[in-house]
Structure 1
Amino acid sequence: MAISHFDHFLAEATVPDSDPMLTLGLEELFGLYISWCNVHHHIPGTEADFRAAMKQHGINASAPGLRMTGPAATDYILASYPALP
């Protein structure tokens, strides 16, 4: 089975974390995905495709125990909080 860019996204931009309080909502995860696509010069899939891919990975309403990592996380945070110096 071919590895999709959604698989690459999860492998490169998220890491497991044992803290149950760390939960990325699907909106945050989609924003991180868009940032990951921008960093890697990929054309993002639609939000519907993203949600379907996350559902295949067992991620529905949230991503419990996942946290952001890498350049996409930095891009997402800076894009989300443009008032930061």
Structure 2
Amino acid sequence: MSASHFQQFLNEATTPDPSGDSRLGPDCLYGLYVSWAELHGLTPKPDQAFRAGMLRCGVDIRDSGLRMTGPAAADYILSSYPAVA
């Protein structure tokens, strides 16, 4: 999958977190990606392909500097913490 697929994910489901209070780690970032892909009717790429795509987009998944936003964020939170729903 091209980097544009992953860049679209970043554009739609993440935002910079300058405060550092809510930065996404590797597992949460991938989980958010899975939610985003499923909401778009796409089959999520495996973790290794995701990590390579993030690298091509200039995102260090260990220190992304990103937080979640949008519909994929809500979907990820509700599927990760069903007691909240």
Shorter-chain-normalised TM-score: which range? 0.7 to 0.9
Quote the sequence identity (%).
Answer: 48
Q: CA RMSD in A?
A: 1.5
Unaligned runs of 5+ in 2: none
More helix by share: 2
Distance 1:68 1:75 in 2: 11
1:9 paired residue number: 9
Distance 1:47 1:73 in 2: 18
Unaligned runs of 5+ in 1: none
- Work out the number of aligned pairs and report it: 83
SS at match of 1:4: helix
What TM-score do the two structures reach when normalised by structure 1? 0.87
What TM-score do the two structures reach when normalised by structure 2? 0.87
Distance 1:58 1:37 in 2: 18
Which of structure 1's runs of 4+ aligned residues deviate more than 2 A?
none
Q: 1:51 is aligned with what amino acid?
A: R
Question: What does the per-residue CA deviation read over 1:40-78, in whole Å, with 9 as the maximum and x for residues that have no partner?
Answer: 1111111100011112223231312x1111100000000
Q: 2:42 is aligned with what amino acid?
A: H
More strand by share: 1
